[in-house]
Structure 1
Amino acid sequence: MSAAAPLRRRAEAEAARLPPLLARAERLAGTVLLGEHGRRRAGLGDDFWQYRPVQPGDPARMIDWRRSARGDTEFVRQREWQVAQSVMLWVDQAPSMRFGSDRQGGSKADRARLLALALAILLIRGGERVGLSGTRLPPRRGEAQILRLTEMLQQDAGGDYGAPETRAMLPHARALFMSDFLGEIGAVEAALAKAADRGVRGVIYQVLDPAEETFPYRGRAIFESMGGTLSHETRRASDLRPDYLGRLAQRRDRLRQMARLCGWQFGFHDTGQSAQAALLWLYRALEQKT
């Protein structure tokens, strides 16, 4: 027996224990070539930046006990390089993202989670801190953070459509908002404005199903939202196609304009396209200075 056989069996056993999403994200991340040095860099310096309240998951060694002793709230002393190398992710987990016209192709949620986790793997292994926007998972480095992200990205949310989360957004960090953005556009605009006010720059990334891009429906059809709160029946679905595609184009133009005004970048992807190309675009977009 080859000496490599036992090693291969152990490697396969280890891989089998990985959550399916993480295993797929690891494979996808491995297809992207980042050059000799990746993203690792020193950041802006070690200067003191600000105090912020302790968040769930912060280690006790980060607490500034002298500042915390002034009141009932514990504070963390945050340094500039920690903020500069932090990336905050918001991935829409609302029911609208569960739509998939091709069962073999998967849903929008499947693709968005895969892209977000593969991106997080690349960023964390390149020296970045990655977390989720909001208060559930502050940015951190390390393999343990990848496992936490895997678990939390697989949690579903309620309602028909999602809106970006901006609580606890670190000043001057970078961010990614990923969604189909088919819900209330005002909520997206408000979230972008709040992030921009804190000096956050990043990417708005729209993920759609191929059927949502082309509207291939004909004849009698009943259209229902994934959350079950909206329904529309028509006898000639093809008559709706021009208006639908026009409104989709308007929505995309609005998102692009909002991103430009806030100093962000805008991109879009449908689940019939290459996940590898999408991941490479996202990685490069976050790397650029907007």
Structure 2
Amino acid sequence: MAPIGQSVERTGGAEILARAKARAALVPDCLVEARRIANTVSAGWHGRRRRGIGENFWQFRPYSPGEDMARIDWRRSARDDLHTYVRDKEWQAAHTVWLWADLSASMMYHSKFGQVSKESRALVLMLALAEVLARSGERIGAPGLMEPIAARNAAERLATALAYAENVSGLPDTSMIRGASEIVLIGDFLDPLDRIMERIAPLARRGLRGTLIMVADPAEADFPYAGRTEFTDPETGEKFTAGRAEVLAEEYRLAYAANRDALGAELRHIGWSLIRHSTDRPASEALVSAHIYLSGQGSAR
């Protein structure tokens, strides 16, 4: 992941252009895959069900003192000797969901243990979420790429914006986000924890409800290396050579898990959610989890 909120200045213009062209070539296939996944997992979903002012029935729940008695369903209440019930309707007002995928150099990593690169999976998840949410009538936006729109072709328009973007790295500038919205950030989140929270915590204080999807290649968590191995930092180009990589395995795994768990704990503290996703698993798993959180049915973890 590139430095949070910063462009990678050390990366030359030619390299940025080359990566942009490679991403543009990748986006159409990712859009096709995103739609396939959205069609698979959205069966039976009918919007983001929340208590609100819509016309569709959602649920019965016990009456709470102080509520408007006009909302009591006396027929349902008559069948229960212990409780009086209120009829809730489904929340139907269009909501704004901002989507962002970090496409820094580190996201290009793809070991033989993963199905695809982290970049490819992040794009698919971002576009699949746009597709599913657009079908539910939500307004979809991408900071710095696309103003919020409520349209059935939101995923296609987002794909076009991504294809023409020159540099999509780090966490985005969110100064244009106004009011209570939701934001989904997709990346590997390998930066130091304090730098990540330095940007995310203010968003929570502004009232944004957020979900992070942490995309990882299986090799990044398992460290399946042995013997003499050279490691290269994709962001800085710095190299490190281990004479016997297997000696580092246990310490690395502990450090990786500790950093991941610490991020989850910090997000829970501000009321945000963390979804962990490995590229050897189906993208539909992360999509379902994200939809659950956005529907208000899941809790931060």
Q: TM-score, structure 2 length as denominator?
A: 0.71
Specify whether residues 233 and 209 from structure 1 end up closer, same or farther in structure 2 by C-alpha distance, changes over 3 A only: same
Q: CA deviation at 1:265?
A: 0.9
Determine which of 201, 218, 221 is the counterpart of 2:226: 218
Q: Does 1:148 align with 2:157?
A: yes
d(CA) in 2 for partners of 1:89, 1:44: 26
For residue 99 of structure 2, what is the aligned residue in structure 1?
Answer: 89
* Pair 1:126 & 2:136 matched: yes
Please give the per-residue CA displacement for 1:124-143, whole angstroms capped at 9, x wherever unaligned: 1101011112x331211114
2:167 equivalent among 153, 157, 165? 157
In the alignment, the residues of structure 2 paired with residue 255 and residue 34 of structure 1 have an alpha-carbon distance, to the nearest angstrom, of 32
Q: Tell me the equivalent position of 1:66.
A: none
**1:40 to partner: Cα distance:** 7.3
The equivalent residue for 1:275 is: 283
- The CA distance in 1 between the partners of 2:35 and 2:291, in whole Å, is 15
Equivalent residue for 1:189? Answer: 197
| Structure 1: gaps of 5 or more residues | 1-17, 46-80
Aligned to 1:62: none
Could you list the per-position Cα deviations for residues 227-273 of structure 1 after superposition, in whole angstroms to 9, with x for gaps in the alignment?
35221111111111112111111111121111111111111010001
After TM superposition, the structure 1 = structure 2 runs for residues 37-186 of structure 1, keeping only pairs within 5 Å, are 37-39=46-48, 85-102=95-112, 105-133=115-143, 135-154=144-163, 155=165, 157=167, 162-186=170-194
Q: 1:237 to 1:257 in 2, by over 3 A?
A: same
Tell me if 1:259 matches 2:267. yes
Contact 2:216 2:277 in 1 (8 A): yes
Which string of whole-angstrom CA distances, capped at 9 and with x for unpartnered residues, describes residues 86-141 of structure 1?
001121111000000039822001001101110110001101011112x3312111
Could you say which residue in structure 2 is the equivalent of 1:64?
none
**CA distance in 2: counterparts of 1:182 and 1:104, whole angstroms:** 18
| DSSP-derived class of the 1:163 partner | coil
Please identify runs of 4+ aligned residues in structure 1 that moved more than 6 A. Answer: 40-45
What is the count of residue pairs matched by the alignment?
A: 234
Deviations 1:186-208 (A, max 9, x none): 33202211211210112111100
1:146 offset after TM fit, Å? Answer: 2.0
Q: Is the 8 A contact 1:86 1:129 kept in 2?
A: yes
The AA in structure 2 aligned to 1:193 is A
Question: Does the Cα contact within 8 Å between 1:164 and 1:191 map onto a contact in 2?
Answer: no
Q: Partner amino acid for 1:206?
A: M
Counterpart CA distance in 1 for 2:241 and 2:186 is 29
8 Å Cα contact 1:95/1:157 also seen in 2: no
Name the SS of the counterpart of 1:202 in structure 2: strand
Quick one: which of 28, 32, 52 aligns to 1:23? 32
- 1: CA distance, partners of 2:53 / 2:189: 33
Bigger relative CO (Cα 8 Å, ≥ 6 apart): 2
Distance 1:125 1:167, change over 3 A: same
Q: Identity percentage over the alignment?
A: 35
Q: CA RMSD in A?
A: 2.6
Asked if the contact 2:213–2:286 (Cα under 8 Å) also holds between the matched residues in 1, the reply is: no
Looking at structure 1, the residues matched to 120 and 233 of structure 2 have their Cα atoms a distance apart, in angstroms, of 18
> Are 2:228 and 2:243, in contact at CA under 8 Å, matched by a contact in 1?
yes
Change (3 A) 1:195 1:236: same
Query: What TM-score comes out, normalization by structure 1 length?
Result: 0.73
